[in-house]
Amino acid sequence: MAVTVLIPTTLHIFTSQLSEIELEGTTVGEVISSLSDEYP
């Protein structure tokens, strides 16, 4: 399932200036893991 994660303004420097990111995951843990894999 695709989930949209909103990124706070102060953290945009870590996501190439993106304010929201769509990630795959069925649990919060999976989504956070996907986020950390994509933007270490």
Greatest Cα pair distance, the chain, in angstroms, is 27
Low-confidence ranges of the chain (pLDDT < 70): none
pLDDT at 19: 97
What is the model's pTM?
A: 0.77
Q: Do 7 and 18 touch, CB atoms closer than 8 A? A: yes
Query: CA-based angle 9:10:13, to the nearest 5?
Result: 95
Placement of tokens 């953290």 in the chain: 11
